[in-house]
Amino acid sequence: MLENFSFRTIIEYLPLFGQGLITTVWLSALSFAGALAVGIVLAAMNLQRGRLFRIAAKAYIDAVRATPLLAQLYFLYFGLPRLGLVLPELVVGIIALSLNSGAYVAEIIRAGILSIPRGQVEAGVASGMTYVQRMRLVILPQAFKVTIPPLLGQAIVLVKDSALLSLISVSELTRAGQLLASDRFMPAEGFITIAAFYLLLYYGLKGLAALSSRWLGLQPARSST
Amino acid sequence: MTNATKTGMIDFRGVNKWFGSLNVLKDITLSVEPREVVVVCGPSGSGKSTLIRCINGLEAIKDGDLVVDGQRLGDPATNMTQLRTEIGFVFQSFNLYPHKTALENVTLAPIHVRKIPRAEAEQAGRDLLAKVGLADKINAYPSQLSGGQQQRVAIARCLGMRPKIMLFDEPTSALDPEMISEVLDVMVAVAEEGMTMMVVTHEMGFARKVAQRVVFMDAGAIVESGTPEEFFSAPKTDRSRAFLSKILRH
Amino acid sequence: MIWQQLQSLAGSYPLALRGLGMTVMLSAISLVLGTLLGFGLGILRTGGNRLISAVIGAWVDLIRGTPFLVQIFLIFFILPEFGIELDAFTAGIIALTNLAACFICEIVAAGIRSVPTGQVEAALASGLSRWQRMRQVVLPQAMRIVLPPLVGQYVLLIKDSSVVSAIGLTDLTRVGWLVVQRVPNGLLVFFLVGVGYFIVCYPLIMLARRLERRMGAAHGEVQL
């Protein structure tokens, strides 16, 4: 049983957990920015007339969605050095998360653009706008609105996924729990504490998603993720 | 199941109901005899739908007594599921099961609730659909039927349970005008077979033809009650006169 | 050199098959158990008992709010402290089943809530019992909403099963990790691992997309 549960040890390790939490937050933030960039490029490729772009984007998205993040992470971790790219684990991790999440972000953006009623496009055409003008003035401002809640949902997934970076020895939150578990043989203290920290991040982002839905005047986000 | 004949088939005695602070049914006392057809009318929000939804327990009453077929609603001894099998309910929006064919809609409850053998239930279902004029639509899904046809299937679905009472909640108000009469014809036929019926409707032609009584409701209360002739030719209150002038104008 | 590596890789194919088998078995068992449990929880979640619904909701939130890796560690390292000895395989099944059940619970609950109240009222009015209403009227209609995300969830589950390699189960990902120690070509090894997952997951992704289109079309047709 957990009668020996030691809050004292948790407090002793609190600086380590704090550091891990901060690392998780900023590496997730960086990866999310990367994912947005990747997602926008992919979504733009998907909307091109040229077939090659569309096929390439679709193939990339399907490949990412049909394989686990952990395998993708190992692919880069063990594979990049082979290409002469020896990068710190942290950087490899951020690249993996960006490339992985980017595929999902691309789908969210695409769904957002497709959610705009045809009548909007037709109204744009009728008033003599070019393709770029229609996109910029009519479609994207509306699509942007509906993508915010699912993007925050994807951010939640990304934060949780970042735990896998502990398996390539990145000193983030989960790694801090593993250290406490292995140094002091206190897995309960280690893993329950980090679970609590992750829940903190989860409820924060979830609250933000709910708020954003309300601000944007959307229906409360349907249970996605 | 005690002496149902002593009281009416449906007996409201001082029934009240609130939605929050809104008194949607005010002190309702009303008795419907076996084989009687009662039409309930009144402006929207007058509580007429709530009134008949109480009878099969889709709405719970707050106080007073409501006795249906000798069983008191809200009494622990009353088996509501059992009682509902005796009461057919026709909805304004039909509420046919979209994943079932017309015949399956009619036979679902007989097979699963009444435990009638499938073949027998299907034969009865075909006969009922023929009776409402839909012999050729037995295997159609609701989405393939017009509103009038859907509502006739819904009536057949109720009749399939051989109910003692039929309740109709504005059965024609969701229909296009040209489909109203095909539904009313079926309802007249049901009434002429001696069914006990309560019908919320503004179809005054139907009321004149088969109703023994018209009940006029306003703001949750029964304002006036009488034979169709009395009600239409000599309404007693200002409110019923105002209401009649509105619905008879078109 | 690449030739030697390919030969060496070809030699590890029994191990790779075993890994793939483990991934498929883990996923299949937890998929079946998780679906059963998830439907049960989803029905209870919408069943009208506030307390039960709140407890399930809180549990689902806990599971959705924490990384799966942390859940596996919690189950594998902490349950033994309660006197429950687990091997890695059982721990993996428990973790995956629980994860699947929580996500499926929410999918099923959303499907049930999407069925119009008039349908339940019609079923009530014809005297169908609680279970009959669920079985005959509500669930068949909810399935239209439930099915596409359910299949999508299965894909996530199969991918999440890779995380159990962290507690030493020799699944497909773990096999890649073992092989790459001997054959130092991470690109090739994990490309092949990826192919293994792709073969299992991609048909399901296609199925989910097709269902989504079909259900969308069917839904439009039923609109009154």
Report pLDDT digits (tens) over C162-191: 999 999 899 999 999 999 888 888 899 999
Residue C69 pLDDT: 96
Given strand B10-19, what is the order of strands in its sheet? B22-32, B10-19, B63-68, B71-72
Q: Which CATH fold would you assign to the domain A7-215?
A: MetI-like fold (1.10.3720)
Query: Of B236, C182, A37, B235, which is closest to residue B248 (Cα–Cα)?
Result: B235
Q: Which amino acid is at A163?
A: A
Boundaries of every domain in chain A: 7-215
C25-43: b (≥16 Cβ within 10 Å) or e = ebbeebbebbbebbbebbb
Q: Which amino acid is at B8?
A: G
Q: Is residue C161 part of a domain?
A: yes
**Distance from C-alpha of C22 to C-alpha of B225, rounded to nearest angstrom:** 76
Q: Is residue C222 part of a domain?
A: no
Residue B222's Cβ-count burial label (10 Å; 0-12, 13-18, 19+) is buried
| DSSP one-letter code for B139 | T
Residue C184 pLDDT: 82
Q: Which amino acid is at B77?
A: A
DSSP B98-120: TTS-HHHHHHHHHHHTS---HHH
Q: Is residue C158 part of a domain?
A: yes
pTM of the predicted protein model: 0.85
Query: Of A190, B156, B96, B179, which is closest to residue C76 (Cα–Cα)?
Result: A190
Q: Is residue C108 part of a domain?
A: yes
- Tell if the CB–CB gap between C128 and B113 is shorter than 8 Å: yes
Q: What residues in A contact C155, CB-CB < 8 Å?
A: 65-66
- What are the angstrom distances between the C-alpha of A10 and each of A187, A189, A200, C71, C166? 11, 6, 17, 19, 24
Sorting pLDDT into bands at 50, 70 and 90, what band is B6? low
- Tell if the CB–CB gap between C180 and A74 is shorter than 8 Å: yes
- Tell if the CB–CB gap between C125 and B84 is shorter than 8 Å: yes
What is the total count of domains within chain C?
1
- Kindly report which listed range (A207-216, B41-50, B152-161, C214-223) carries the lowest average pLDDT score: C214-223
Asked if A222 and C91 touch (Cβ cutoff 8 Å), the reply is no
Give me the half-sphere count of Cα atoms (radius 13 Å) on the Cβ side of residue C143.
10
Tokens of A56: 């390439």
Q: Is the pLDDT of residue B33 over 90?
A: yes
Sorting pLDDT into bands at 50, 70 and 90, what band is C5? confident
Please name every residue paired with C105 in a beta bridge, in sequence order, or none if there are none: none
In three-state form (DSSP H/G/I as H, E/B as E, the rest C), the secondary structure along chain C is CHHHHHHHHHHCHHHHHHHHHHHHHHHHHHHHHHHHHHHHHHHHHCCCCHHHHHHHHHHHHHHHCCCHHHHHHHHHHHHHHHCCCCCHHHHHHHHHHHHHHHHHHHHHHHHHHCCCHHHHHHHHHCCCCHHHHHHHHHHHHHHHHHHHHHHHHHHHHHHHHHHHHHHCCCCHHHHHHHHHHHCCCHHHHHHHHHHHHHHHHHHHHHHHHHHHHHHHHHHHHHCC
**Distance from C-alpha of A209 to C-alpha of A71, rounded to nearest angstrom:** 30
Q: What residues in C contact B89, CB-CB < 8 Å?
A: 121-122, 125-126
- Tell if the CB–CB gap between A78 and C189 is shorter than 8 Å: yes
Quick one: closest CA in B to C142, which residue?
Answer: B99
Domain that holds residue C15: 2-216
Q: Is the pLDDT of residue C9 over 60?
A: yes
Q: Is residue C41 part of a domain?
A: yes
- What are the angstrom distances between the C-alpha of B181 and each of B49, B188, B199? 21, 10, 15
Q: Is residue C223 part of a domain?
A: no
In the predicted model, what is the mean pLDDT of residues A188-195?
91
Per-residue pLDDT reduced to its tens digit, B43-89 = 988 999 999 999 999 998 888 999 999 999 988 888 888 899 999 99
The percent of residues above 70 in pLDDT, for chain B, comes to: 96
Residue B250 pLDDT: 53
Sorting pLDDT into bands at 50, 70 and 90, what band is C81? confident
Q: Is residue C221 part of a domain?
A: no
The percent of residues above 90 in pLDDT, for chain B, comes to: 77
- Tell if the CB–CB gap between C185 and A202 is shorter than 8 Å: no
- Kindly report which listed range (A24-28, A57-61, C4-8, C53-57) carries the lowest average pLDDT score: C4-8
Diameter of chain C measured on Cα atoms: 76
| DSSP one-letter code for B223 | E
- Kindly report which listed range (A123-127, A203-207, C105-109) carries the lowest average pLDDT score: A123-127
Give me the half-sphere count of Cα atoms (radius 13 Å) on the Cβ side of residue A61.
25
In the predicted model, what is the mean pLDDT of residues B189-214?
93
- What are the angstrom distances between the C-alpha of A107 and each of A57, A104, A216, B136, C157? 11, 5, 21, 46, 20
**Distance from C-alpha of A190 to C-alpha of A164, rounded to nearest angstrom:** 16
- What are the angstrom distances between the C-alpha of C16 and each of B1, B3, C24, C39? 71, 78, 12, 34
**Distance from C-alpha of B121 to C-alpha of B107, rounded to nearest angstrom:** 6
Sorting pLDDT into bands at 50, 70 and 90, what band is C222? very low
Tokens of A71: 């395998």
Please name every residue paired with B87 in a beta bridge, in sequence order, or none if there are none: B165
- What are the angstrom distances between the C-alpha of B194 and each of B171, B189, B190, C185? 19, 9, 7, 86
- Tell if the CB–CB gap between A82 and C166 is shorter than 8 Å: no
Sorting pLDDT into bands at 50, 70 and 90, what band is C217? low
Contacts with C115 (C-beta within 8 Å, 6 or more apart), sequence order: C137, C138, C141, C142
The beta-carbon neighbor of C136 closest among B84, B87, B108 is B108
Q: Do chains B and A touch (3 or more CB pairs under 8 A)?
A: no
Tokens of A52: 């090659």
In the predicted model, what is the mean pLDDT of residues A20-36?
96
Tokens of B6: 């002593």
Higher pLDDT, A218 or B121: B121
Chain centre to alpha carbon of residue A138 = 27
Asked if C69 and A162 touch (Cβ cutoff 8 Å), the reply is no
Chain B interface includes C137 (CB < 8 A)? yes
Asked if B98 and B142 touch (Cβ cutoff 8 Å), the reply is yes
Mean pLDDT of chain C: 90
The domain that holds C154 is classified in CATH as 1.10.3720.10
- How far does A45 lie from chain C, in Å, by closest CA? 20
Q: Which amino acid is at A37?
A: A
Residue A132 pLDDT: 82
- Tell if the CB–CB gap between B58 and C125 is shorter than 8 Å: yes
In the predicted model, what is the mean pLDDT of residues A201-216?
90
Residue B21 pLDDT: 86
Residue A13 pLDDT: 85
- Tell if the CB–CB gap between C190 and A71 is shorter than 8 Å: yes
Query: Which phi and psi (to 5°) does residue B43 adopt?
Result: -65, 160
Query: Which phi and psi (to 5°) does residue A86 adopt?
Result: -100, 105
Chain C interface includes B146 (CB < 8 A)? no
The percent of residues above 70 in pLDDT, for chain C, comes to: 96
Asked if A8 and A156 touch (Cβ cutoff 8 Å), the reply is no
Higher pLDDT, C83 or C89: C89
The beta-carbon neighbor of A199 closest among C65, C110, C176 is C65
Residue C220 pLDDT: 40
Tokens of B108: 């679902």
Mean pLDDT of chain B: 91
Residue A1 pLDDT: 53
Length of chain C measured in residues: 224
Q: Is the pLDDT of residue A142 over 90?
A: no
The beta-carbon neighbor of A164 closest among C69, C180, C186 is C69
- Please count the residue pairs, one from chain A and one from chain C, whose beta carbons lie less than 8 angstroms apart: 141
Residue A2 pLDDT: 63
Q: Is residue C137 part of a domain?
A: yes
Contacts with A135 (C-beta within 8 Å, 6 or more apart), sequence order: none
Per-residue pLDDT reduced to its tens digit, A30-70 = 999 999 999 999 998 988 778 899 999 999 999 999 999 99
